Structure formats: structure tokens, C-alpha cells
Structure 1
Amino acid sequence: MAESPNNRHPVSATHREQPGEVSATVIRLDKNENPFDVPRAIKDEILRRLATLPWSRFPEPRPEGVVERLAAFNHCGPDHVVVGNGSSQLLQLLLEVVTDGPTRILVPEPTVGPLSSIAQMVNADIVGVPMTEALQFNVPKLCSRAVAMKVEMVIIGSPHDPTGCVMAESDLVTLLNTSPGIVVVDESYYEFAHKTFAPLVVKYPRLVILRTFSIALGLAGWRIGYLLTSPDLARRINERMLPGSISTVSALAAEVAIDMHDHFRAQIEKLVSERERVYSALRRMNGVKPVPSHANFMVVRTDLTGRQLCQLLRERNILVHDLSGHPTLTNAIRVSIGAPQENDHFLAAMEEIFSG
């Protein structure tokens, strides 16, 4: 799931931000954020519609306008859709519904995000399954471990954070047919991969798709996300959610983003193009081994430790995410794809660091 502001990992092992510490001149490539602002036409439409609403009224118990639009967008019934305050809240509600005594969650390792904090809140244990050396899903091990441990839930990202890999549909179907529990696919970054498993929700009642408006659609400040699943599970999750928990303005922004979804296409394609440009440039550098990605970020392995490289980049006013806390990624960072000029600064800094 997309990183929430309350569950962010430190920028590096040597630095924790203090309020007001990061200046506007720092290039932030550490949070998988969209570097582009929401298109002007969408902002104008949000403000136009907002002016017509009565601000003194409480939000709807359930944002029906958003639910109906999402159902049409994903070609499913409204009873398959749950809208919440970001994908992190939705995952917490899902775990609360599923948890009945000791619960085990199977995840690929390495994994980045707020899952460990959410699992602690519901007294669930996380069981990691190492990815392959090429940082791809080890589907046979995921399946065998799910069966052997009788896990209640398997959670994967597609694209996965931090590796950027995607799962093949045939592998997901195998996992669904093998695992005894719920299978959650976090699609927070699916727009950059042009690949989704949403059509499978109607066929597989134990499948849950998590989505966010925060990344490709640039609405991170509005805190809104949704999930797609079976009507029964959707109903149980909705019953756990406090009525009116989605603010009127967040719901309105989501409605406009869906209605004008085509306006985001140019930004998404620009980020995909920049991802490929950054990857190609890094591949040409000595001592640098970027990992192919389908997301708006990538893992970069180097001859330095992740901590060392984070510090060297920070000295050049560039923030990236240190992955050295993961045993298989001690020499790696995760870098988000920024705007072209930001990527140019990052590539120039990397060239300077590794040219010697």
C-alpha cells in the first residue's frame, strides 16, 4: 500500500527528519510520491463543485457517489466496493474483520510500508517468504508456506514495494486456488504497470484488491482509497467503518478524479518514460545495478551500502530510501521517479559518486 504520512520509514538509517528541517531545495525521491501536481482543470472542477455544496452538513454515511463511480470504472457492482481513508485504513479494517484469535499474514520479503504497524494493532503475526535473487515473487514457496502454515491471509503488492515487480495472472490464480485464506493484492502503483487483477474479484470471493488515489492521481493530501472484494466481505468491512468517516471534500475530490481520469494519463506516461530513462542511465554507470521496475520507483544496488549512499546523496540535497535494513538489500536504495529536472540532479549526483 502507499506509504501513509503516519507510517513513514526513516529516509535513511542515519537521519530522522525534524519538523521544518527539510527545505524546499531538497529533492525528495524517498516517498514514492507523484512529483506532479494535480492538473489545473481537475483542481478548478473540484473547487467549482465544492462551492455548490452546503458546508454545514455532515458527510454522507457512505460516499455513494464515489462508490457508484468506482463500480462503473472497475466494471463491477457497487456491493464489491469499499471506500476508506486511504488503503492503510482499509487494510486495518480488513484485518479486524478477518482476525479471530491468532492470525498469520504471509508476505514476500523484502516489503516496505506500514503493514508491520497495522499487524501489531490487531495482534497478527507477519511471516516473510524471501523473494528470488532477482527480486521476483517466489510463487511456489508462497503457496507451499500458505498451505503448511494454514495462514489466514497473504498480502502482495503488484507492483511490489520496494522491488517494483508484478505478479503474473496465472501465478495469482495458483495462489488463490492454493492458499486457504484471503489473498490481498495491493495495487497502489498499478497505473504505472498498466496491469490490474480487478476483473478477478467477481470470480474469486477470497480476493481483495487495494487501491489508492494518492500516487498516480496525486491526491495524497486528501487521504482516500478503496478496495474491491466479494459483496459479503465488503459488507462486513463497511459495518466496521464509522459512518461519515470520509469527508465531503475528500469524496468530492475522488468523484472529480474518476470523472476526469483521462486528464492524469499524460502524467502517468511521463513518469513511466522517466522511469525507463533513469533505469537506462543507471545501467551505464560503473558499480551501479538498477532493478527493472513496473512502478514509479526502483531498487538500485551499488558497490556502497545503502546507508553510505543515502548519506552521500543527502549531502547533495537528495533524499532516497535506505533499504540496508533488509538482509538481502544491504547495498541497496529505493529511489522514486521524480520530475525530469529532479531525475537529472539525481543522475548527476550518482555519476559524480561512482565516477571514481
Structure 2
Amino acid sequence: MLKYRAEIKKLPTYDVIERDWNIKINANECNMNLPPIVEERVMGRLSRLAFNRYPNTETESLAEQLAAAYHVQRRNILLANGSSEILEKMFFCFGGRNHKIVYPQPSFSMYKIYAELSNSISIPFDLDENYCLDAEKFVATVNDNKAHLAVICAPNNPTGTHIPLADIEYIAKNINCAFVVDEAYIEFDGRSAMEIWHKYPHMIIARTFSKAYGLAGARVGYMIADEKITEITGKVFMPYHLNILSAVTADIVYQMRHEYEPRIAMMRSERDRIAEQLKKMSVIQVYPSATNFVLMKYDKAVGLNEYLANIGIGVRSFGDAPRLKNCIRVSAGLREENDTFMKAVKDFVETHTEE
């Protein structure tokens, strides 16, 4: 008889099964593939790879490039399969039996799962009714629980909430445990915690290439931390865990990151345009966003989601999820995709207003 760990059976499944959507704006992805000039460089580099060798120089090239860009040492950088792997490893390193981990809710759904997998004690911290983080109360929760790890997502997913740098610094200054700032969406926001990172050796910055740089399929992320942290946490990663194809692609993308600046600006503009159009419908509440997506609340959200799915538009509906009931998250797609989505929403709202 197979005897699984009891905790694993209780875990929710992170659903990654997708339909073949006409318009896919449900996963906070970039709806554009590599810029042609970047693709040309990537393909040329891939054609010269030694596929029979383990990754080594290629991952070093990426890590060294990141270190130079952030004006840190190579030993301050750890690469991973997306920032999700970074987060998972932080939960394993600082969590464990009787170790408490504080994180906001609603936020990235994997925080709770990583806490369960690492056999840690979850201390979810409720955001306020507008999904803003109260830094003073968050600090009090961390300190009162003698937490081993505190995590925030800045800006926050799935709410889109901007967390002021002053609040992040207040937290860093007033807690003594490891402090992870998940900056998966920072390119759409503005000021990064990297501005203050050098002052707080217990602060860990997690970043990804999946969102702004459109490499969700390559799965590349990295963390920036004090060398004492990277040295210890590096021990929980598998050898050669980042494959050579992803490392090379990310290396070239980051070299040519200026090519992405117009795209990032466009996604921010489309995000704001979606929000403004949705706000014109009085029955829909739209939350401010500093990411590449918009969160909306509508009392007929379940029906709207079904209607959109039936016409081939994939959005992220939260159904009856705690604190996200009747909420839908929509990523900023291409302009024509966004126009089609907004017209569909308008048509549904007008049809169901009198019900």
C-alpha cells in the first residue's frame, strides 16, 4: 500500500490545464513573443550550444550580468526556475516544524502551499478592505509570532496593489527575521526594494523573467541576497537546476532589455486603459493596479466568466474564494484583444443590468 504524507493529500492542486483560448488573458503573461531582433540572437546562440554538457558557463554569464546590472557581487545572485522556485526554497530554508511564516492574503496562492510543503506554520495577514497592506500591523504580526520568515508581494498578485517603498523599508527596519520581497511585477510598478536592499542584510529580493520579459515558458528567475543567505540557501537547490536553454535565452534577453522598454510601457498603458473603461460601468468595482493586470469585482462575476469562456476569452475568475468573491483578474493583452474583452464585458453588463 502506498503511504503518502498526510499533508500532501490535503493540498489544493495548482491548476495549469489550459483551453485553446481565442484570447488568453488569464495568467498575467506577456501576450507577445520575443522581439524579432532578440529572437534572432537567441536562435543564433542556441545553435552553438553544447547540448551534451551540463550548464556551467551559460548560467555564470547570466548571473554575472545580473550582478553587474545591480551593482552587487556574483555571490549575491542565485538563479532558479522562475521566482516561484526561489520562493519555494526560501520557505524550505527558513520554515520547518514549529517555524512560523507570515505572508499577506489575498496574495500569491503558492505561499500557503509552500508553507504546507515545508511543514511550517502559516500566519496569513489580512490586507484591508481595499487590499492595502498596513505595514505597522504586519510588523506587529511578524514580531508577536516570532516568525522565522516574512514575505510580501510588491506589487501584489492578484490584487495589483502597490506597496510604497517607505512601507517596505519600515517592515525591513522593524523585523529581525528573513524578509522576502517578491517583485515578480516590479517592472510595471516603478521603485524597487533594491534601492534599500544594501541596508538590510536579512532582505531577499525575488525577481522573474516571466512577466515583463515574456519568458514564462523558459522559467527563469533569480534572487538577490546577502552572501550568507545565498551560500546557505544554495544548498537546497539541485545541481544544474537551471537548464542551458533557459539560461542562454535569459542572458540574451537581459543583454537586450532595452528592446522591452516599449513593450512594458504599452502593457502599462493598456492596463490603465482597461481599468478606465471598466470604471465606466457603475456595477463594476476596479482596484488600482501597479502590475500588468487589473482586478475587478462584479456581483455577476461567475456568470460573466462563463459568458467569456463560451466566446473563447480566458480570464481568471476567483469564484467564491475567500476575500476574492466575485472577483475577476484580467491581464493586459494586445490592444485588439483588450478591445474585444471590454466589448464583451459591456455587452454582458448591459444584458444583465435589469436582472
Same fold (TM over 0.5): yes
Is the Cα–Cα contact under 8 Å of residues 95 and 115 in structure 2 kept in the other structure? no
- Indicate yes or no: 2:319 matched with 1:324: yes
Provide the rounded CA distance (Å) in 1 between the counterparts of 2:294 and 2:14.
16
Q: After superposition, what is the alpha-carbon deviation per residue over 1:127-157, rounded to whole angstroms, capped at 9, x for unaligned?
A: 2111112211122221111111111111111
Instruction: Please give the residue correspondences for 1:197-216 in structure 2 after superposition, counting only pairs within 5 Å.
Output: 197-216=193-212
Aligned residues: 340
Q: After superposition, what is the alpha-carbon deviation per residue over 1:232-284, rounded to whole angstroms, capped at 9, x for unaligned?
A: 00111222222222111111111101110101111111100101111110011
Q: Which amino acid aligns with 1:256?
A: I
Identical residues among aligned pairs (%): 27
Q: After superposition, what is the alpha-carbon deviation per residue over 1:44-100, rounded to whole angstroms, capped at 9, x for unaligned?
A: 101111222222222118821111100111121111111011111112222222235
Instruction: Please give the residue correspondences for 1:102-141 in structure 2 after superposition, counting only pairs within 5 Å.
Output: 102-141=98-137
Is the Cα–Cα contact under 8 Å of residues 189 and 216 in structure 1 kept in the other structure? yes
Q: Which amino acid aligns with 2:187?
A: E
In the alignment, structure 1 segments of 5+ residues that lack a partner are 1-6, 12-16
Provide the rounded CA distance (Å) in 1 between the counterparts of 2:13 and 2:107.
13
Change in Cα spacing, 1:327 to 1:240, as seen in structure 2 (3 Å) is: closer
Matching residue of 1:14 = none
- Structure 1 residue 292: Cα displacement: 1.0
Provide the rounded CA distance (Å) in 1 between the counterparts of 2:219 and 2:166.
33
Provide the rounded CA distance (Å) in 2 between the counterparts of 1:192 and 1:241.
29
3-state SS of paired residue (1:126): strand
Instruction: Please give the residue correspondences for 1:14-163 in structure 2 after superposition, counting only pairs within 5 Å.
Output: 17=17, 22-25=19-22, 27-60=23-56, 63-163=59-159
Change in Cα spacing, 1:354 to 1:219, as seen in structure 2 (3 Å) is: same
Provide the rounded CA distance (Å) in 1 between the counterparts of 2:87 and 2:254.
22
Provide the rounded CA distance (Å) in 1 between the counterparts of 2:217 and 2:192.
24
Q: Which amino acid aligns with 1:295?
A: T
- Indicate yes or no: 2:218 matched with 1:222: yes
Instruction: Please give the residue correspondences for 1:165-314 in structure 2 after superposition, counting only pairs within 5 Å.
Output: 165-304=161-300, 306-314=301-309
3-state SS of paired residue (1:180): coil
Is the Cα–Cα contact under 8 Å of residues 58 and 248 in structure 2 kept in the other structure? no
Q: Which amino acid aligns with 1:326?
A: A
Q: After superposition, what is the alpha-carbon deviation per residue over 1:199-231, rounded to whole angstroms, capped at 9, x for unaligned?
A: 322221110111011111011111110001111
Provide the rounded CA distance (Å) in 1 between the counterparts of 2:96 and 2:21.
47
Provide the rounded CA distance (Å) in 2 between the counterparts of 1:156 and 1:276.
24
Is the Cα–Cα contact under 8 Å of residues 158 and 166 in structure 1 kept in the other structure? yes
Change in Cα spacing, 1:198 to 1:8, as seen in structure 2 (3 Å) is: farther
Provide the rounded CA distance (Å) in 2 between the counterparts of 1:341 and 1:43.
24
Query: What RMSD in Å do the two structures reach over aligned CA positions?
Result: 1.9
Q: Which amino acid aligns with 1:99?
A: G
- Structure 1 residue 333: Cα displacement: 1.1
- Indicate yes or no: 2:339 matched with 1:351: no
Provide the rounded CA distance (Å) in 2 between the counterparts of 1:235 and 1:273.
40
Change in Cα spacing, 1:308 to 1:138, as seen in structure 2 (3 Å) is: farther
Provide the rounded CA distance (Å) in 2 between the counterparts of 1:308 and 1:155.
34
Q: Which amino acid aligns with 1:336?
A: S
3-state SS of paired residue (1:327): coil
Provide the rounded CA distance (Å) in 2 between the counterparts of 1:300 and 1:69.
38
Provide the rounded CA distance (Å) in 2 between the counterparts of 1:172 and 1:348.
38
Is the Cα–Cα contact under 8 Å of residues 146 and 180 in structure 1 kept in the other structure? no
Q: After superposition, what is the alpha-carbon deviation per residue over 1:263-309, rounded to whole angstroms, capped at 9, x for unaligned?
A: 111111110010111111001113011111000111101132x3333
Q: After superposition, what is the alpha-carbon deviation per residue over 1:316-354, rounded to whole angstroms, capped at 9, x for unaligned?
A: 221211223333321211111111111111100110111
Q: Which amino acid aligns with 1:214?
A: S
Q: Which amino acid aligns with 2:304?
A: L
Provide the rounded CA distance (Å) in 2 between the counterparts of 1:99 and 1:286.
45
Is the Cα–Cα contact under 8 Å of residues 58 and 244 in structure 2 kept in the other structure? no
TM-score (structure 1 length as normaliser): 0.90
- Structure 1 residue 8: Cα displacement: 7.6
Is the Cα–Cα contact under 8 Å of residues 182 and 207 in structure 1 kept in the other structure? yes
3-state SS of paired residue (1:221): coil
Provide the rounded CA distance (Å) in 1 between the counterparts of 2:328 and 2:196.
33
